[in-house]
């Protein structure tokens, strides 16, 4: 016996990825300032623990919220029996107000378009069930959150086709890349149902520019497909440029109340912005009533506890508290990110310029033995087992360039961060010790890199030759030059 279903025995749950393996190693030997100072420091979990000390005083000042009382009278019975999948109305209203505030009140949301789910994980999966059938596909820009492999594909049977982004333009989404992905999906006989973006991006930590969003909206309008914007990090934007939601762009282009309006959906959660992942609160926002109806019924499989809904509605309704909390949150995130970036710079490691998120996208290509993913894995293993830092390798995020790592900074104290940076520095300098070999390696790497760059650009040259407009072929040359420019600057920095 023990005969299980195919779904239970396949590996689409993605738990074998290095992203999760690193966590497992951390669990075996977790760092603790007092009890285990030589343990592994967890820098692979995007959790915001910087502002928990602000929540506790609020709870003490508002005992009704925890005590399940309203104006001193117990409403426990009402909450205990409340299992309506339409959600606690006061909570939905408070949530949409909060979401509006994060977007500078440039867009307002309708509580009737919200579906509550047990976390954004459940929200993403439920949206997949609603928008796509088995065998359909969604396009995702790489690098993307490793959890999507499980959330979007496992039980739904939907495929992910990557839109490859490269460091040549800061990993921004470009039209050729999207079209290439669409063609790829068609070659694989997959029907593309939509595009899913994470804005602000995980793992990049950057917000999408308006022109990128315009590009995406044009694309989905043209192909008549959906756009899901996972805006779970929207409240973690700590510096300019400010956050622009896809809903804002639609409104500015007067596309609200058109067909496209109904094909754009937002996923949100309080796990990152409020630092409450344990509470399991996620939301789907959609302007398509059929999607809202279907998703609401499916949310029965992951309802938010009524006790939690009540507690959070009280918290979110306290606008003064949320304003203070968010501004303090941004301040602390900014400081922590600055500390990490400057610490890494001193070790000769550069990060992608980021203005959001709980992590940095770190460029360690110069530390690789060779420009391959095997070398990246080797380096990652060194980090986990020797340097004792768990970071997430770019390959687990499906990045096509080896050597990038996601390093989280928001789940630790300042002192732990300092220690982590110190460990990194000593590791980097120990690599640099063998300078002779290092120089040879560098020149070899430079040759290999230039070859790769040349080949890559040549390939895109041939691709572009298919296009008829001369405009495109002209714009190609600066593209080629900028690639080799970057290669040159990296040589200088390494």
Partner 1 sequence: MRLIVPLQGVVQGRGGLIFGSLIPCALFYFLQLYLKRHRSPKPQSNPPSPTTSSPKLAEMTRTSSRSNLFSRSIGQVRISSRAISIAKPNESPYYIGLDKASEDPYDRLSNPDGVIQLGLSENRLCFDLIEKWMSENLGHSITGRDSGELNINGIATYQPFDGTMELKLAMAGFMSHIMGGAVTFEPSQMVLTAGATPAIETLCFCLADQGNAFLVPTPYYPGFDRDVKFRTGVELIPVHCRSTDNFALSITALDQAFNQTRKHGTKIRGILLSNPANPVGNLLSREMLYAILDFAREKNIHVISDEIFAGSMYGNEEFVSMAEVLDSEGFDKNRVHIVYGLSKDLSLPGFRVGVIYSFNENVLAAARKLTRFSSVSAPTQRLLVSMLSDARFIEEYVKTNKRRLQNMHALFVAGLKGLNIRCADSSAGLYCWADMSKLISSYSEKGELELWDKLLNVGKINVTPGSACHCIEPGWFRCCFTTLAEEDIPVVLERIRKAVENTTDLLNSS
Asked if residue 453 binds partner 1 (CB under 8 A), the reply is no
Neighbours of 291 (CB within 10 A): 21
Q: Which is nearer to partner 1, 170 or 278 (CB)?
A: 278
Minimum Å gap between C-beta 395 and partner 1 is 21
Instruction: Kindly state whether residue 135 participates in binding partner 1, applying the rule CB under 8 A.
Output: no
The crossing angle, in degrees rounded to 10, of helices 306-317 and 319-346 is 90
For residue 192, the SS3 value is strand
Interface segment toward partner 1; rule CB under 8 A; list 4-12, 30-38, 98-106, 200-208: 4-12
Q: Quote the least distance from Cβ 409 to partner 1, whole Å.
A: 16
How many CB atoms are closer than 10 A to CB 347? Answer: 16
Q: Of 3-11, 32-40, 200-208, 314-322, which segment contacts partner 1 by CB under 8 A?
A: 3-11
| Residue 279 found at the interface with partner 1 (CB under 8 A) | yes
The minimum distance between CB 185 and partner 1, in angstroms, equals 16
Of these, 278, 432, 437, 478, which contacts partner 1 (CB under 8 A)? 278
Query: SS3 for 113?
Result: helix
- Minimum CB–partner distance for residue 263 and partner 1 (Å): 7
Provide the minimum distance between the beta carbon of 342 and partner 1 in the complex, in angstroms, as a whole number: 27
User: CA-to-CA distance for 310 and 299, rounded, in angstroms?
Assistant: 18
Q: Using an 8 Å Cβ cutoff, are 65 and 310 in contact?
A: yes
- The residues that are catalytic are 145, 230, 232, 272
* Binding of residue 275 to partner 1 (CB under 8 A): yes
Residue numbers 305-334 binding partner 1 by CB under 8 A: 305-308, 311
Instruction: Tell which one of 35, 240, 254, 300 touches partner 1 (CB under 8 A).
Output: 300
The answer to whether 226 touches 131, Cβ cutoff 8 Å, is: yes
- Distance of CA 170 to CAs 106, 363, 419, Å? 27, 11, 29
**Whole-number Å distance between alpha carbons of 150 and 146:** 8
Q: Which is nearer to partner 1, 171 or 310 (CB)?
A: 310
Measured from the CB atom, is 297 or 477 closer to partner 1?
A: 297
* Packed helices 435-466 and 414-433: angle between N→C axes, nearest 10 degrees: 100
Shortest distance in whole angstroms from residue 310 CB to partner 1: 9
3-state secondary structure of 468: coil
- The contact mask relative to partner 1 for 55-94 (x = CB under 8 A, - = no) is xx--xx--x--xxx-----x-xx-xxxxxx----------
| Paired strand residues for 206 | none
Task: Tell me which of 113, 164, 172, 280 binds partner 1, using CB under 8 A.
Answer: 280
CB-based contacts of 300, cutoff 8 Å, min separation 6: 85
* Cis bond before residue 200 (omega within 30° of 0): yes
Site for partner 1 in 25-44 (CB under 8 A): none
User: Of 132 and 190, which has the nearer Cβ to partner 1?
Assistant: 132
Contact between 43 and 339 (Cβ < 8 Å): no
Is 481 a binding residue for partner 1 by CB under 8 A? The answer is no
Cis peptide before 241 (omega within 30 of 0): yes
From the list 107, 118, 163, 213, which residue makes contact with partner 1 (rule: CB under 8 A)?
118
**Minimum gap (Å) between residue 209 Cβ and partner 1:** 27
Cα dihedral angle (164, 231, 233, 400), rounded to 10 degrees? -10
Q: What is the largest CA-CA distance in the chain?
A: 76
Q: Which stretch binds partner 1 (CB under 8 A): 6-14, 202-210, 211-219, 233-241?
A: 6-14
Rule CB under 8 A: say whether 433 interacts with partner 1. Answer: no
Cβ neighbours of residue 159 closer than 8 Å, sequence gap 6 or more: 135, 136, 137, 138, 153, 185, 188, 190
Scanning residues 346 to 375, which ones bind partner 1 (CB under 8 A)?
Answer: none
């Amino acid at each position: 016996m023990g005969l299980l279903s195919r779904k239970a025995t396949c590996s689409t749950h993605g738990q074998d990825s290095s992203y999760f393996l690193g966590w497992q190693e951390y669990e075996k030997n977790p760092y603790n300032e007092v009890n285990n100072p030589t343990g592994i420091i967890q820098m692979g979990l995007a959790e915001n623990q910087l502002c928990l000390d602000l929540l506790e005083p609020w709870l003490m000042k508002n005992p009704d919220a925890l005590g399940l009382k309203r104006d001193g009278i117990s409403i426990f019975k009402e909450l205990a029996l409340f299992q309506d999948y339409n959600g606690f109305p006061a909570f939905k209203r408070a949530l949409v107000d909060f979401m509006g505030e994060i977007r500078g009140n440039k867009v307002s949301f309708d509580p009737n378009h919200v579906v509550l789910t047990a976390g954004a994980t459940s929200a993403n999966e439920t949206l997949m069930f609603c928008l796509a059938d088995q065998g359909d596909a969604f396009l995702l820009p790489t690098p993307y959150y490793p959890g999507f492999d499980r959330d979007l594909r496992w039980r739904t049977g939907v495929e992910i086709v990557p839109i490859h982004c490269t460091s040549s333009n800061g990993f921004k989404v470009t039209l050729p890349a999207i079209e290439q992905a669409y063609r790829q999906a068609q070659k694989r006989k997959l029907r593309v149902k939509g595009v899913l973006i994470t804005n602000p991006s995980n793992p990049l930590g950057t917000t999408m520019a308006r022109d990128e969003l315009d590009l995406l909206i044009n694309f989905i309008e043209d192909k008549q497909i959906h756009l899901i914007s996972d805006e779970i990090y929207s409240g973690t934007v700590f510096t300019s440029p400010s956050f622009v939601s896809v809903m804002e762009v639609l409104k500015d282009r007067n596309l609200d109340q058109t067909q496209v309006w109904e094909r754009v959906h937002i996923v949100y959660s309080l796990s990152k912005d409020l630092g409450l992942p344990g509470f399991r609160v996620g939301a789907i926002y959609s302007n398509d009533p059929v999607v809202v109806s279907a998703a609401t019924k499916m949310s029965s499989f992951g309802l938010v506890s009524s006790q939690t809904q009540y507690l959070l509605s009280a918290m979110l309704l306290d606008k003064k508290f949320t304003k203070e909390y968010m501004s303090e949150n941004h301040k602390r995130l900014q400081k922590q990110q600055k500390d990490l970036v400057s610490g890494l710079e001193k070790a000769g490691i550069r990060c992608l310029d980021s203005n959001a998120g709980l992590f940095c996208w770190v460029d360690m290509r110069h530390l690789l033995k060779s420009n391959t993913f095997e070398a990246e894995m080797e380096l990652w293993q060194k980090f986990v087992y020797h340097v004792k830092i768990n970071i997430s390798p770019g390959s687990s995020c499906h990045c096509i360039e080896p050597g990038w790592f996601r390093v989280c900074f928001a789940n630790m104290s300042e002192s732990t961060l300092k220690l982590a940076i110190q460990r990194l520095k000593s590791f980097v300098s120990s690599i640099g010790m063998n300078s002779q070999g290092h120089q040879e390696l560098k020149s070899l790497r430079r040759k290999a890199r230039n070859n790769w760059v040349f080949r890559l650009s040549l390939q895109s040259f041939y691709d572009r030759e298919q296009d008829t407009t001369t405009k495109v072929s002209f714009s190609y040359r600066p593209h080629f030059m900028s690639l080799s420019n970057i290669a040159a600057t990296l040589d200088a920095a390494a």
